[in-house]
Amino acid sequence: LCFPCCTHSPYSQAFLTPSSSRVFVVRRDQDIYIHTLRKLFNESHGIFMGLQRSEEELAGKSRKAQLVQVSKNYRSVIRACMEDMHQAAALKLGPAFLQVSILSAMELIWNLCEILFVEAATAGPLLLRLLDWVRLHVCDVDSMVRQVLSSESPSKHKLFWNVVDVFVLQGRMDEARHLLSKEASANPASMNMYKILDDLMKKMPVPSLGNTQTLTELELKWQHWHEECQRYLQDGTFASNPHMESICKILLGDEDAILEKKELMTTWYHFLVTRLLYSHPTVKPMELRFYAQSSMDLFLGGESSPEPLDMILMAAFEFEMHQVIKECSIVLSNWWFVAHLTDLLDHCKLLQSHNLYFGSNMREFLLLEYASGLFSHHSLWQLGVDYFDHCPQFGRVYLELHIERVPLSTEQKALKVLRICEQRQMHEQVRSICKIMAMKALRNNRLGSALSWSIRAKDAAFATLISDRFLKDYCEKGCFSDLDLIDNLGPSMLLSDRLTFLGKYREFHRLYGEKRFAEAARLLLTLMTAHIAPCSFWMTLLTDALPLLEQKEVIFSAEQTYELMRCLEDLTAGNPDKQKFQDDDVETTKVEMLRLALARNLARVIVKEGTVEGS
């Protein structure tokens, strides 16, 4: 397994162009931008959410099974991603290859953490799990096996004994015996020797997953078997065949014999597991660290210094969870791994609240980093939201700050962002988003849309602004635009006074158009007397009253006429700029005409009301 030798900091830099202008794109989390990894982020998001939802109440075993399942799901996502990258790499070598190796390292570490921390396998099953782990990750063997098996006579193949050794080293006894039987049938002379070895391999006691045998029982059996092997070795039973002798030595857990097969094991952790298998099959989790340390020392033999991956695995064997996470965050180029692993371990209740200097725990810190990275991505930001949701302390603040900065290219996107904010009662952000959209609409001269947005935000000031634009347009053009909206304001009309006025004024026009004059007149008057209409608009309203006053039948009652006259006088008297009326001929004429009409209406109404009451 190769590992990135350069250390990526989370704020790594990527060259945009290798030119002298030196433009750097500084990105939070480089891996976020790798196309094939988007699957990983999306799929693991689903698992993450499932884990957060899962019931804490599930007691003991079933809870553990659930968590192990979650862990396996995470791993299978990583594996799926690797598979995709293999396909990508088949097309073009290069960065994809590096990515695959990083992913496989992640999976290796995760798997070990799963065995040691999540599942917390006990002595016995622990070894079986570790064997599985090695078999899964050291798999150069398989091509070798295929080569040997596909040859005409496997036993004559030059790699034959290598393959047998590998099987033995990985504890795959059945496969090893199967191969040996081929050799035995080709070599009837030494049949007896093969039989003995075969028998030894068959009889080797292994820990069982079920509770059918106790550890002491196993140890006893194992001791017995060990002595038997010892006996055969001393007898010189295998002396004639060096291969078989070395296998027997391996079975006895002879470190030198195992170390001789260094090339076949390739890694120190393989050596560790093999060593445990043949000398300490009932190793306890807490003893692992001693064997791990000595295995690494023996295997590397001072020739090479341990690489970061070795250090991480070692930390895991030492049960230093924090160390594992720390090393991983330093070495890996993404936050995905540490954030999800830490979250899982936290759900296992393994990370005691390890408070950081800024007051949040490690799980939250890593999730925040990861989610912030997602938010910096133009498309993955939606995933980040859910991660922030599960950060009790700072998630909300982070979300508030990030969500406001999501570019709103279309209304649909705005609606999605808005929904996120509304679900979380983030009123400030809702207002701000609606305002942005309303402003955009206003700039595009889409008054209707702008009004809709400000109504959604319950932004009274902005609604007033837009209503004024509508009224201004009306004064200029003499007709309303966007009738379909204004006619259907409904209760949202009450958002701002000006909007109410706009709606009511339009209603007046509708009533007038439908020739419901009495109602129209009453509404018109109310608009002024209840001070719904802005003063600047009174003159227009009064002018609107003119045709009503001039109708054949009397519409305004005496009382209403007095009110109208009062309004007119208020307007002319209240206006400090009296000059304006005198200078402006049109205005003066208008006032005069109004006065005349009002007076005539008053006369008619007095007569009418008198008559009606008299009769």
Residues contributing to the site for other proteins (CB under 8 A): 35-36, 38-39, 42-43, 45-47, 49-50, 53-55, 65-66, 69, 72-73, 75-77, 79-80, 82-83, 86, 90, 104, 132, 135-136, 139, 141-143, 378-379, 382-383, 386, 409-413, 415-416, 419, 423, 444-449, 452, 455, 481-485, 488-492
CB of 100 to other proteins, least distance (A): 8
Three-state helix/strand/coil letters over 207-218: CCCCCCCCHHHH
* Residue number, 136 or 475, with CB nearest to other proteins: 136
* Residue number, 33 or 319, with CB nearest to other proteins: 33
The Cα 274–Cα 198 span in angstroms is 19
The Cα 193–Cα 139 span in angstroms is 30
Q: What residues contact 8, with CB distance under 8 A and at least 6 apart?
A: 30, 331, 332, 333
* Residue number, 185 or 488, with CB nearest to other proteins: 488
Within 10 A of 180 (CB to CB), how many other CB atoms are there? 23
* Residue number, 152 or 484, with CB nearest to other proteins: 484
* Residue number, 451 or 564, with CB nearest to other proteins: 451
Helix, strand, coil percentages (3-state) for the chain, rounded to 5, are: 70, 0, 25
* Residue number, 168 or 248, with CB nearest to other proteins: 168
Q: Strand, coil or helix: what is 25?
A: strand
The Cα 470–Cα 485 span in angstroms is 11
* Residue number, 263 or 484, with CB nearest to other proteins: 484
CB of 194 to other proteins, least distance (A): 26
CB of 484 to other proteins, least distance (A): 6
The Cα 223–Cα 206 span in angstroms is 12
Residue 268: exposure state from Cβ atoms within 10 A (0-12, 13-18, ≥19): buried
* Residue number, 315 or 414, with CB nearest to other proteins: 414
The residue type at 230: Q
The alpha-helical segments, DSSP class H, found in 252-380 are: 255-260, 262-265, 268-279, 288-300, 308-317, 321-331, 336-347, 362-375
- Residues 398, 400, 405, 407, CA torsion sign: positive
The Cα 606–Cα 600 span in angstroms is 10
The Cα 378–Cα 356 span in angstroms is 30
* Residue number, 98 or 485, with CB nearest to other proteins: 485
CB of 11 to other proteins, least distance (A): 21
* Residue number, 236 or 490, with CB nearest to other proteins: 490
Q: Strand, coil or helix: what is 347?
A: helix
CB 160 within 8 A of CB 179: yes
CB of 239 to other proteins, least distance (A): 34
* Partner residues linked to 266 by β-bridges: none
CB of 44 to other proteins, least distance (A): 8
Calculate ∠ Cα 425-430-431, nearest 5°.
125
* Residue number, 57 or 303, with CB nearest to other proteins: 57
CB of 561 to other proteins, least distance (A): 36
CB of 238 to other proteins, least distance (A): 29
CB of 180 to other proteins, least distance (A): 20
* Partner residues linked to 15 by β-bridges: 24
CB of 167 to other proteins, least distance (A): 11
The Cα 262–Cα 42 span in angstroms is 40
* Residue number, 67 or 555, with CB nearest to other proteins: 67
Q: What is the DSSP string of 122-189?
A: PTTHHHHHHHHHHHHH--THHHHHHHHHHSSSGGGSTTHHHHHHHHHHTT-HHHHHHHHHHHHHH-GG
Q: Strand, coil or helix: what is 458?
A: coil
The residue type at 214: T
CB of 340 to other proteins, least distance (A): 13
CB of 313 to other proteins, least distance (A): 19
CB of 337 to other proteins, least distance (A): 17
Cα of 8 vs its chain's centroid, Å: 22
* Residue number, 42 or 153, with CB nearest to other proteins: 42
